[in-house]
Structures are given as C-alpha cells and as structure tokens.
Amino acid sequence: MQQIEAGGRLRSNALDIALRGKAGRWFSGQAQYTLGRSYDNTGGIGSYPQDQYNLNSLEWGPSNFDRRHRFNMMGTVNRDHWLSLGLGTTIYSGTPFTELAGTDVFNTGLGNARPAGVGRNTLRASGTQDVDALWNHDFKLGKGKVDDAKVID
C-alpha cells in the first residue's frame, strides 16, 4: 500500500538589480544580478523524505533550484559600425545536493537515507560560468531596388 500526501512548504526571497544602457560610445547592453535564497521541505512530487515515518526529520533545507548568486550580462561593442562584437556572460553559484548514506537505514526500499544528522541539500556543487561572443558584419551582395508594387483591394 502506498500513501502519497500533497503537502509542502516553500519560502523564497530575492533581490534583483538590473542596469541597461550605454557605457561610452562603443558599448551598449544590460546586466542583471540576483541575490536570493529558497528553502523548502520537499523536492517535489518525485522526491520522498528519508524517513517516511517521521516526515519532518531534517527535511527543511535549501530548495533543489536554490542559487545564492546569479549574474547575467549581454552587450554589443561597436554597434552599428562596419564590424561589431556581441558579448554575453552568465555566472551562477552552485546548486545544493544531498549526501546519501548508501544504505537503506529506514527500510523503505528507496535508498535515499542520509548519514546521521545530515539534512537535505546541505552540500553545494561548484558554480557555473559561461561566456559567449559573436563577431559579425553585414555584407550587401548587390544593389537592391525597392519594389513599387501597388496593393489592390
């Protein structure tokens, strides 16, 4: 027999700062920084507590998607000139994960038990950094002529 209960609690707070505009005559773009945190007591419908007979046992912790810092920036250098360079970067802190005991301590058959005293999502993965660049130029392949076709109703 299996009993599934739809219950959980989530608390999340974030501060967003965004800037958009030009820096000098060569660079225009936008940047966004988010400082946030999110805590809950469930990983969603596909997750189970380590001890299904004690539902509140060390389950309150960082959400699976919790990231403390997020930074995004996109911009263009030398826009509207013969040659332009587009830049984009993202820098995110790591997401949480859970240390598992490797044994079925509570005899649930799930294998999601943690070592004694270890809460859910108490460890952090390393962050991610990504940089993208695009260097472009528009070439005209011939002289274009504007079509003077008339629209008939």
Token pair in block for residue 140 = 């005209």
CB 45 within 8 A of CB 104: no
Residue 137 backbone zone (phi > 0: left; psi -120 to 50: alpha; other: beta): beta
Query: 150 lies in a domain?
Result: no
Residue 18 sits in which domain range?
Answer: 10-136
Query: 81 lies in a domain?
Result: yes
pLDDT 10s digits, 109-139: 888 888 888 889 999 999 999 999 998 887 7
Which long-range contacts does 144-149 make (Cβ < 8 Å, 24+ apart)?
none
Give the whole-angstrom CA distance, residue 14 versus residue 69.
10
**What's the total number of domains in the chain?**
1
- The pLDDT-based confidence of 94 (bands split at 50, 70, 90) is very high
Query: 145 lies in a domain?
Result: no
Query: 25 lies in a domain?
Result: yes
Query: 42 lies in a domain?
Result: yes
Query: 111 lies in a domain?
Result: yes
Query: 2 lies in a domain?
Result: no
Query: 67 lies in a domain?
Result: yes
pTM above 0.75, yes or no: no
What is the secondary structure of 5-21 as a DSSP string? -----EEEEEEEEEEEE
DSSP conformational letter for 103: S
Can you tell me whether residue 142 is helix, strand or coil?
coil
pLDDT at site 115: 87
Token pair in block for residue 99 = 């240390």
- The pLDDT-based confidence of 1 (bands split at 50, 70, 90) is low
